[in-house]
Each structure stands twice: as structure tokens, then as C-alpha cells.
Structure 1
Amino acid sequence: MWNKSQRGVTLIELIVAMVIIGVGLAGVIGVLTRTAVTSTDPMITKQMTAIADGMMEEIQLKPFTGDGARAANGCDRSNYDEVDDYADYGGSSGIQVCSMDGTVGPAGYKVGVQIVSGSGGIVTGAIPNGDTREITITVRNGANSYQLVGWRTNFGGG
């Protein structure tokens, strides 16, 4: 006997609701899985940026000219006393990231520095080409790379 005051859901309604909720959960889990797999990429980019910024600051704080001699052992840069000492540091493939005294930094990162004399068209006529250096720092981690370009001028004349 059926009474209109009885309430509830039928078996078919429960099955349909479970299918809809299951499909929705599968979609959400798929998105979360994809996000978890690629979540390290921003960290790698941030570390490459920090490494390049640190190297750029180190180079730009050096005097424009020095004694002209460069004595380095591996990644030890403690004897670098001028901007030009960093020219071709790490070569084309880069060198393991390390601090100025040669202490090894984070694994998997390589850094390379290129220094070009002259303004490269950035400043025309204002500063003589011999008094300008374009500094390009490239940091690599596997297939990822980050490049930072800066300039240093001989603003003090020495």
C-alpha cells in the first residue's frame, strides 16, 4: 500500500546520483594529479632566477678594471677582482653552481657567464664602448634554462 506522506528516494535515483558524483570526482582528481606533477616547475624557475640574480649582483659589485690576472680553480672565484674576470665563466655548457669561495651549491644547476665589451646598441653615444660591458648569465637545470642580461659601465673612470 502506497501512502503520499512517505518520502524517500528510489534505487534508480540513487544509482544516477552515484554515477554523477563519480564522474565529477574523477574529473577533480584528474586535475589535482596534473597539478601535483607540474608543481615543481615554479620552484625550479625561482631557484634559477635566484642563482642568476646572485651571480649578476656579484659581478656588478666588482670594480670595472683590476690587475688583469685571473686565477681560478674550478668554480672558486675568490681571486676574481674585476668584471672581466668572469668572461666565459662556465663555458658554453656551464659549471656547477657554487658560492664565491667554491662551496658547491644546489645539485643539478649549472651557470655560465658571457661578458661582451661595448654597449651592443643599448647606449649609443653616451658612454664609450670600451667603458661598457654586457653581462649575460645563463642558468640551466635539465631542459629548463633562464637567462639574465645586465650591463656594467665604468662610471667611476677606473
Structure 2
Amino acid sequence: MQDHAAFTSPPRNQTGLTLIELLMFIMVIGLALAGVLQVFALATKSSADPQAQRQALAIAESLLQEVQLQPFTFCDPDDANISTATSATVGAGSTNCTTASESAMGPEAGEARTVAPQFDNVNDYHGFSMTGIVDITGTAVSGLDSYSASVTVAPAALGTVAAGDALRITVQVNGPNGTAVTLQGYRTRHAPNAS
């Protein structure tokens, strides 16, 4: 009779995971993943909506550029002496404005941003505001009805330029989820004949 031990192979070391080890691994990974996801959720909830922020910035930049492109002269842009006036004085003579000066902040009677007669000077935008963004023709821009914008214009000293010859333009835009953007820019007076 042969020995039974001669026909069996020697025991080998087993490799792999037991069911308990596999379950423990899944549980540890699950807990770690849950913690990471909570951090992402908290960061997302507490941060501003980047799309709303970018949109508010684009609105503010556009409105600031619109204001800065307007004339800033001593006389109303419709005045015959606009290019020869040397001060905002109204009266006879080519160095004075013939009808009205542009020294007052805010639009002249009847002027508006979107209908004739339209704003024609930087000063006209002082105090302007809109809820729901509209373009220069008065057409509502789709998707921007939850935004509002306002403009203030004030005299400011700018380097060697006197406060009366420079204006600081402040544009404030508010949007959804508390989004707020404020931009400032400057406009200097174009008065080729001023001394």
C-alpha cells in the first residue's frame, strides 16, 4: 500500500482577498468618497455662480464703454459752438455755448437712453438705472431680466487733469444669487480751445 501523502501536492500560499477583507475595503473607500463629496458640495454651495458673475461683468463692461464713448464737452453736442467754446458759459460769442452747457449732471429734459432724443453726453448717464437689461435701442436682452444696472457720474481729479475736466463713471450691476459687480472708469473733457 502506498502512502497517501505521496499523491497530494504540498500546500501553497493562497493569494487574494477574503469576503470580509473585500467588504472592509469597500466600506473604507465609501466613507472616504463621501467625505470628499461633502467638501465639493460645500464649496459649490458657498461659491458665487461663475456664470452669473461673468454675465454681470460683461454687462458692466458694456455699459461703462457705452458711457465712455459719449462726448464730454463744455456745450451740448447739438450746440453750434461745440468745437470753439472755451468754457461752459452760455452767451453771445464763439467762445461761449449758445444754448446750454453740459455742466449739470443728469439728462436734459426729455432725453433718454433708448428713445429720441437720446443721451448725447457722459453727464446724461448720471443717475441712470435699469432693471432687466436692454440694449441701446430699448430691446430687452433675453436671459438678462434678473439683472439690474445703475450708473453714477461725478467730477474727479485725474492726475494733472482738474476735477471739472475729468469724470469718474461708476457702473454697478446686480444679478441672481447676490451677484454684484462694480466697475469704474474715467472720461476727460475734449475741449480743443480751452486754455
Q: 2:91 corresponds to which residue?
A: none
* 1:101 counterpart (137, 159, 163): 137
User: Could you say what secondary structure the match of 1:44 adopts?
Assistant: helix
Distance 1:59 1:82 in 2: 8
In structure 2, give the amino acid aligned to 1:23.
L
* 1:30 counterpart (34, 38, 44): 38
Kept after mapping to 2: 8 A contact 1:95/1:110 = yes
Structure 1 regions of 5+ residues with no counterpart? none
In structure 2, give the amino acid aligned to 1:29.
L
Q: What TM-score results when the alignment is normalised by the length of structure 1? A: 0.79
Q: What pairs up with 1:8-157 in 2 under 5 angstroms?
A: 8-34=16-42, 37=45, 41-65=49-73, 66=76, 67=78, 69=108, 71-72=110-111, 76=114, 79-90=118-129, 94-105=130-141, 106-119=144-157, 122-123=158-159, 126-142=160-176, 143-157=178-192
In structure 2, give the amino acid aligned to 1:51.
I
In structure 1, give the amino acid aligned to 2:165.
D
Distance 2:12 2:20 in 1: 19
Distance 1:89 1:131 in 2: 21
Higher strand share: 1
**Cα-to-partner distance string for 1:77-125 (whole Å, 9 max, x where unaligned):** 66111111101001xxx53321111111212100000001232xx43xx
In structure 2, give the amino acid aligned to 1:98.
V
**Cα-to-partner distance string for 1:100-152 (whole Å, 9 max, x where unaligned):** 11111212100000001232xx43xx223221111010001142211111110
**Cα-to-partner distance string for 1:10-41 (whole Å, 9 max, x where unaligned):** 23211211111111221233344445556761
Distance 2:60 2:190 in 1: 23
Matched-pair identity in % = 30
User: Could you say what secondary structure the match of 2:27 adopts?
Assistant: helix
Question: Judging changes above 3 Å, is the alpha-carbon distance between structure 1 residues 101 and 112 closer, same or farther for their aligned structure 2 residues?
Answer: same
Kept after mapping to 2: 8 A contact 1:70/1:85 = no
Runs of 4+ residues over 6 Å off in structure 1? none
User: Could you say what secondary structure the match of 1:111 adopts?
Assistant: strand
Provide the aligned length of Structure 1 versus Structure 2: 149
Q: 2:90 corresponds to which residue?
A: none
